[in-house]
């Protein structure tokens, strides 16, 4: 078997974090007298993190003079309830159990800041804990940089060509592919109808977690 490890994005891939991400945004919008955003609006943006959500809610991007304050205020709100309603997607834990039976390591490479990742992951109820967790600030660059990918491989002592990387965003596919990994796009993730997924560098897409098992001997 050429695949020795399966590495995952977190938000929108392993865990459904949209309710907590969107809840923090809506609390902030209410404070500013701005209209709240529905989960239908939040979900396609959730994988883009704080900057994407602040832009969705307030139209404030990187170049705006108030961006830094909005970002800080959003993170403060998310801190209050980052694990209130977040759960694993159906079938994720079952997949991880099966990977363990096959002797395949698993891990997480996320752009989520360490301050949230290291507290959230233990609360998600994984039957087997990850061999490695790389947060958005573990390295000096986050995805789509390959630095987090190579860092994870070094930590588990498995070469990139023997890894699958599973995610729901273009940056996930870019980072995995450029690091020499096989890439898997999850169709249950935070993907907008307008996202040109056919142009993303994914080797394959899957509709359910357990389908990933079928790829281990084919990719």
Which residue range is the domain that position 145 belongs to? 5-16+86-215
74 and 90 within one domain: no
Is the same domain home to 99 and 156?
yes
Given a cut of 60, whether residue 215 has pLDDT beyond it is: yes
Check residue 138 and give its pLDDT: 98
Question: Rounded to two decimals, what is the model's pTM?
Answer: 0.94
- Both 197 and 94 in one domain: the answer is yes
For the record, the structure tokens of 71 come out as: 């970002």
- C-alpha to C-alpha distances, 106 to 5, 87, 131, 156, 158, nearest whole angstrom: 5, 18, 6, 9, 11
The pLDDT of residue 27 is above 70: yes
Q: Could you tell me if 92 and 161 lie in one domain? A: yes
Quote the CA–CA distance of 109 and 183 in Å, as a whole number. Answer: 13
Helix, strand, coil percent values for the chain (each to nearest 5): 45, 15, 40
In whole angstroms, what is the distance from residue 121 CA to residue 129 CA?
9
pLDDT at residue number 63: 92
Q: For 69-107, how does the pLDDT look when each residue is reduced to its tens digit (9 = 90+)?
A: 999 999 999 999 999 999 999 999 999 999 999 999 999
Among candidate residues 57, 80, 103, the one where a domain is terminated: 80
| Pairing relationship of beta strands 15-16 and 87-88 according to DSSP bridges | antiparallel
112 and 23 part of one domain: no
State how far the Cα of 99 lies from the Cα of 51, in Å rounded to an integer: 34
User: How far apart are alpha carbons 152 and 30 in whole angstroms?
Assistant: 39
Active site residues: 9
Helices 18-31 and 39-46: crossing angle in degrees, nearest 10, is 120
Q: How confident is the model at residue 185 (pLDDT cuts 50, 70, 90)?
A: very high
pLDDT at site 217: 80
Same domain for 164 and 69: no
Number of domains present in the structure of the chain: 2
26 lies in the same domain as 130:
no
Per-residue confidence (pLDDT) for residue 48, from 0 to 100:
87
The predicted-structure confidence for 130-155, as pLDDT tens digits, reads as follows 999 999 999 999 999 999 999 999 99
The percent of residues in the chain predicted with pLDDT above 90, rounded, is 96
Boundary (domain end) residue, out of 80, 102, 129: 80
Q: Are residues 105 and 40 in the same domain?
A: no
User: Quick one: DSSP state of residue 162?
Assistant: G
Distance of alpha carbon 39 from alpha carbon 128, whole angstroms: 30
Give the number of residues written for the chain: 219
Domain check: are 69 and 99 in the same one? no
Q: How far apart are CA 70 and CA 110, in angstroms?
A: 22
């Amino acid at each position: 078997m050429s695949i020795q490890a399966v590495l995952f994005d977190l938000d929108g891939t392993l865990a459904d974090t949209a309710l907590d991400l969107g809840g923090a945004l809506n609390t902030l919008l209410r404070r500013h007298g701005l209209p709240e955003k529905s989960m239908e609006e939040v979900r396609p943006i959730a994988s883009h993190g704080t900057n994407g959500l602040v832009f969705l809610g307030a139209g404030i991007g990187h170049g705006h003079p108030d961006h830094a304050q909005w970002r800080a205020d959003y993170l403060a709100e998310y801190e209050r309830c980052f694990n209130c309603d977040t759960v694993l997607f159906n079938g994720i834990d079952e997949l991880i159990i099966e990977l363990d039976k096959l002797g395949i390591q698993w891990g997480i490479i996320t752009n989520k800041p360490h301050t949230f990742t290291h507290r959230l992951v233990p609360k998600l109820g994984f039957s087997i804990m990850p061999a490695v967790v790389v947060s958005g600030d573990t390295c000096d660059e986050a995805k789509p940089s390959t630095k987090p990918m190579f860092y994870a491989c070094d930590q588990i002592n498995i070469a990139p060509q023997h890894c699958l990387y599973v995610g729901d965003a273009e940056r996930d596919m870019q980072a995995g592919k450029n690091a020499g990994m096989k890439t898997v796009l999850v169709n249950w993730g935070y993907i907008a109808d307008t996202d040109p997924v056919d142009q993303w560098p994914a080797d394959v897409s899957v509709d359910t977690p357990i389908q990933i098992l079928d790829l281990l001997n084919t990719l």
